[in-house]
A and B are shown apart, each in its own frame.
Chain A
Amino acid sequence: MSAAIASMRTLIENDRIRLALLALSLVLVALGPFYLSAYWERVLIFVFFNIALASSWNVIGGIAGYPSFGHGVFFGMGAYTCAILIVRGGVPFPLAILGGGAVAGAFALLFIPLFRQRGFYFALSTLAAQFAIETVVRTWSFTRGLQSFDQGWNLPDLGSLDFFYWLTLGLLVACIGSIILMLRTRVGLALRAIHKDEVVAASVGIPCTRYKAIAFVFSAVWPGVMGAAYAPFLVFISSDNVFNISITLNMILIAIFGGIGTIIGPIIGGLLLSIIDRLSWAYLLQYHTLIYGLMIIAVISFRPAGIASWFKK
């Protein structure tokens, strides 16, 4: 086992092989609709959503070290914005996706005062914000649905399963690409400094609040975009299924499971967790939530740096 891991490690450390592997797997994944069954295609689309969400959360939660427990709200915002733009406004889908990202980003600005908190208090403030916003969306007649008793939105059929496969894969690649690019700029350096020690970072003249705000808005826009793509994919959305607290938790768990604060972590986490989830669900139906919980405990208790840390020295 350890020998295999070691040889894998040397393989992966070779840059050229790494790039080739990456390109090959990307091509294989992109050709998915040609060899996958509809069911597996749909499963993979969910995996793409999950990875993109966890990667976005990772920017603020993992890299900057501010554990947002309200990030699901941006996904829900994106989904509702898209639905309302399309159903109420007849806006074309691509614009509605942009709208979802824009609204989520704008709402993220409202969260900035919460950055006066840290750690537990920041986590629980953002969680409270999610519950408060969800209640408003659910009860305000403009957002809750088209007709007086509706709870949620019904979208027209905007494309085939293949279309959504390539769309979400494209958005996922763009999302991760933009994160990599952003981390290479001054923002990335500043965020890592803030994570390490905010007082020191501030004392050497890093404008912490500004960079935290940039990171937070950035990590909210992508969930908004993904939510906007999710709404027509699910066709019927309601506050129960797009503002659900489990969406926030999934982002966090995937990032931690794979390796928090790394680019590859959420990718590994998203793939592995959905494989494990489906295996335990298929063979141990009654116990699958239990197993999920045990896995969370096990990873955090014994491997807090996540699965990705196995492949590093």
Chain B
Amino acid sequence: MSKKTMAIKRRTFLGSAMGAASMVALGAPAIAQRKTVHFGASLPLTGPYEKVSKVYKDAYDLWTQTVGGKVSVGGQDADVKWTIYDDENKAARTAELTERLISSDKVDCIVGTYGTDTVLAQGAIARKYERITMQAGAASARVDEQIGGHTTFTLIGPSRNYPTLAIDHLAKQNPKPKTMAIITMDDPVYQEFAAGAIADAERHGIKIVLNEVLPMNTQDLRPTVLKIKRAGDVDIIYNTGWDLICIKLIQECVALDVNPKAIVGGHLTTNPVVKETLKGQLQYIYGITNWLPQMAYKDKYYANCQAFADKFQATYNYAPTYHAAMAYAIPYIYQHVIADGSEGDPLDSKIMRKRIAALNNLESVWGPIKFNDKGRILTPGVPVLQWQGTDPKVVVLAPDALANGKDLYPMPAFNKRG
């Protein structure tokens, strides 16, 4: 759907949603009157997060298509309506839009935005109205501390746990890595990620020779890679940053002929831009990913993750990253908890909150859904992958249940490859 038709539709369905809400206010039995379920969200649709926002938006849309535009509310069919605003990744704008979603648009289910600051700003408003939000866009523990559980449910695992499986896996390799350098972007979510990596490495007796904290808008990774080069023998270089940082890191390692035994590119090596840019240089690079089509999860509509990924690819013409499965799961969970009308209005925040908190491994393409008391999803370790072949492809290495190949370790030097 183009943005223009989206905007027109938004205006028409705003009217109907407000109509529905005012009927509820008049005291008629709420459930009987419910003709629409209104989902409200904001996303940084313009600006640097435009691409990832598009994945979220397409995933919401895929869910709507998958359910045929209708869901059951307390046993009765209701039309699905979406209102999605552009928050430009600005906290103040997000707060304003959340106020609008709640007080003017009267949305039933609030779907969280992308980014720590904006998710926190959104949570502050939702908390004021005693509403709940479900988000898949901020992994920082700050979300748990400030708004977790009572207001916000988070579908992404804490970033502190991201590196564990990867470091456990690398520690088992032969020759065993002894030293590690970490690149940390200066933002809570990456700092927590790096803290996890440091703790995991120390547990295996791997020495941290360098933890380089970089400002978020760092343009050039060469000073950092030169520092790693001069730090002596570094067996692992671990990037906690995003895809662009991974690209620059590997380019500079090639440029300065820095050859550790392994480079871990971080949690976004599966973003298409990484392979498009690095091409063959991506070979041997490790990565971690929260989700893969190879995983054996399923939901009511998709027999496995591959089926979901295929449908997504067929509909939007690009391969889904983990964001897609995660974003798709948000309305899917709402759909599950509002289906039952036995305790009163299933769209009432208190009832929704209670039911979401009580979910016990609900099956979804994003994996089993169960939250801790801070509203954070309980996740298994983050799987480890490696790019292999001259036209690099993903090979999963850990956990064993998902593994479909063997490590290529240690990595051959960049200048000694055919």
Q: Cβ of B128 and Cβ of A157 under 8 Å apart?
A: yes
Residues of B within 8 A of A151 (CB): 116, 186-188
Q: Please, how many angstroms separate the alpha-carbon atoms of A151 and B46 in the complex? A: 23
Q: Which one of B46, B86, B142 has the highest number of Cβ atoms from chain A below 10 Å of its Cβ?
A: B142
Residues of A within 8 A of B95 (CB): 42, 234
Q: Cβ of B7 and Cβ of A285 under 8 Å apart?
A: yes
Q: How many residues of B contact A (CB 8 A)?
A: 34
Q: Please, how many angstroms separate the alpha-carbon atoms of A246 and B186 in the complex? A: 21
Measured CB to CB, the nearest residue on chain B to A149 is B191
The residue that B121 contacts in the complex, of A37, A234, A246, with Cβ under 8 A, is: A234
The residue that B186 contacts in the complex, of A39, A139, A152, A285, with Cβ under 8 A, is: A139
Is A286 among interface residues, defined by CB-CB distance under 8 A? yes
Question: When A39-B100, A149-B191, A157-B128 are in contact, do A234 and B92 touch as well, CB less than 8 Å?
Answer: yes
Residues of B within 8 A of A285 (CB): 3, 6-7, 45, 86
Q: Which one of A149, A157, A235, A281 has the highest number of Cβ atoms from chain B below 10 Å of its Cβ?
A: A149
Q: Cβ of B86 and Cβ of A150 under 8 Å apart?
A: no
Residues of B within 8 A of A246 (CB): 90
The residue that A236 contacts in the complex, of B3, B6, B102, B120, with Cβ under 8 A, is: B120
Q: Mark A94-137, 1 if CB is under 8 A from B, else 0.
A: 00000000000000000000000000000000000000000100
Q: Cβ of A238 and Cβ of B104 under 8 Å apart?
A: no
Q: Please, how many angstroms separate the alpha-carbon atoms of A235 and B142 in the complex? A: 13
Q: Please, how many angstroms separate the alpha-carbon atoms of A283 and B10 in the complex? A: 10
Identify the 4 closest CB pairs spanning chains A and B, nearest first: A235-B124, A38-B103, A236-B120, A149-B191
Measured CB to CB, the nearest residue on chain B to A155 is B124
CB within 8 Å of A: which residues of B?
3, 6-7, 45-46, 86, 90-92, 95-96, 99-100, 102-104, 116-117, 120-121, 124, 128, 140-142, 145-146, 186-188, 191-192, 195, 215
Q: Cβ of A39 and Cβ of B128 under 8 Å apart?
A: no
Residues of A within 8 A of B187 (CB): 151
Question: When A39-B103, A43-B96, A235-B124 are in contact, do A152 and B46 touch as well, CB less than 8 Å?
Answer: no
Q: Cβ of B128 and Cβ of A241 under 8 Å apart?
A: no
Which residues, 137 to 172 on A, are CB-close (under 8 Å) to B?
138-139, 145, 148-152, 154, 157, 161
Which residues, 261 to 308 on A, are CB-close (under 8 Å) to B?
281-283, 285-286, 288-289
Q: Cβ of B103 and Cβ of A236 under 8 Å apart?
A: no
B114 CB to nearest chain A CB (Å): 14
Q: Cβ of A38 and Cβ of B99 under 8 Å apart?
A: yes
Question: When A37-B104, A236-B120 are in contact, do A138 and B96 touch as well, CB less than 8 Å?
Answer: no
Q: Cβ of B195 and Cβ of A149 under 8 Å apart?
A: yes
